[in-house]
Chain A
Amino acid sequence: MMSDQAALFEYLLRLGDNALILGHRLSEWCGHSPALEEDLALSNVALDLIGQTQLWLNLAGDVEGRGRDADKLAYLRDARDFRNVLLVEQPNGDFAATMARQFYFDAWHYLLLRELTGSKDSRIAEIAAKGLKEVTYHLERSREWVLRLGDGTEESHERMQTALDDLWMYTGELFETDEVDQAMIRSGMGPDLSTLHEPWLGLMHATAEEATLTLPQPGWAQRGGKRGMHSEHLGYILADLQFLQRAYPNATW
């Protein structure tokens, strides 16, 4: 069985990597968004997530005790060592795909952080409380876009429906528990992820209905990100994200 310390490190990597990879994906929109307001908004959400990444990964480095800080963990690990869920590494696609991905993630992220504010590890509870305030706005915004595009023009409706359908298979992984999650539940540090599924689905159904969209049926779930088995997209993200530190090791501003 995995030691509690090792499980905690893994768990913190998952939290940090989810925020890092989604934050990076959103930053790819900077300068390319459909409108200036959206450009600013996407960059701001990215910034929040990168800020949260620093908190989670610095804590992961402390727990590991091998002298790695957030920067070292972000810039010097290979794809197989990343622990983010597959959903966050999916390409931006069109604006509907970006907002559907965000809505699926934000609702889960919100529910997870809310649980983590009650973690027995006060360091986790503090970061979660900070992040929760930010994620509340992320969720409000991504939900509004799902409504606006779903209940918009024929084309926007179709694009949002396609985005919900295409990304659905990546949502199953969010609620699965493995030995790392079990260790966190045992020590009172993290919630049982399966308990988040019902409130998450409730919000999804209510939103889809209001947006005149159809929520996909439960089905085959893609999984593996939490254990380091990623889609090919992650390699391309890391090529971009890590280039500078790989080409010029230890470069600083």
Chain B
Amino acid sequence: MPMTTVTTRPSLDEIRGWLGDVPDPEVPAVSVMDLGIVRDVQWSGDELVVAITPTYSGCPATSVIAFDIETALRQRGIENLRIERRLSPPWTTDWVTEEGKRRLEAYGIAPPAEEAGGPSPFERLLRKPLVIACPRCKSENTRRISEFGSTPCKAQYQCHDCLEPFDYFKCI
């Protein structure tokens, strides 16, 4: 089936809505909009410019995300588009939407527990670790197994009550 050609330019809200259906390749429960990876959507003349930012410098999903966004928009008939990578300001978990946090938890990943602009690391090193609630049974009787999980953005925890291991989405 030939792709439909857009005759009237779709609104930016409409485009953001479409991007809300593009799942993150590594955490498919949330969209690239939920995670705050899409920083800007603008028309530049006839060209649509979508600015995205990597969560972590080495995140291997960044190029897949760019590809998925491009594919989704082309399927909607947008031919003339450019994906721009933006490094600054650096991505922060504060940009994860409330809906995104809810979806993460429902998926079994504990959402970020504090605002990223918290204590500086030297202070953080010397204080008690955060209590992270188990996303399954909500128990606060949990322990951190490792500062890193299945992707750079997560840490590994285990719940002492329901005994399930789970991922925690770190604050950065």
Contacts and interface: CB of A to CB of B under 8 A. Distances in A.
Interface of A: 37-38, 40-41, 44-45, 47-52, 54-55, 110, 122, 126-127, 129-131, 133-134, 136-137, 139-141, 143-144, 199, 203, 206
Contact of A48 (B90, B121, B124, B152): B152
Contacts of A110: 121
Contacts, number: 84
A127 B87 contact: yes
Given A38-B146, A41-B148, A45-B148, A143 B60 contact: no
12 contacts: A37-B148, A38-B146, A44-B152, A55-B57, A55-B87, A126-B88, A129-B90, A130-B54, A133-B116, A136-B121, A203-B122, A206-B126
Interface majority SS (helix, strand, loop, mixed), chain A:
helix
Contacts of B88: 122, 126, 129-130
B121 A140 contact: yes
Interface string B103-137: 00000000000001000011011100000000000
B2 interface: no
Given A122-B88, A129-B90, A137-B148, 5 more contacts: A37-B146, A126-B88, A134-B152, A136-B124, A137-B147
5 pairs of A and B residues whose beta carbons are closest in the complex: A51-B58, A51-B57, A37-B146, A41-B148, A47-B58
A127 B87 CA distance: 7
Contact of B148 (A44, A122, A136, A139): A44
Contacts of A137: 147-148, 170, 172
B27 interface: no
Contacts of A127: 87
B45 interface: no
A52 B146 contact: no
Given A54-B57, A110-B121, A139-B125, A130 B90 contact: yes
A241 to B, nearest CB: 16
Contacts of A131: 57
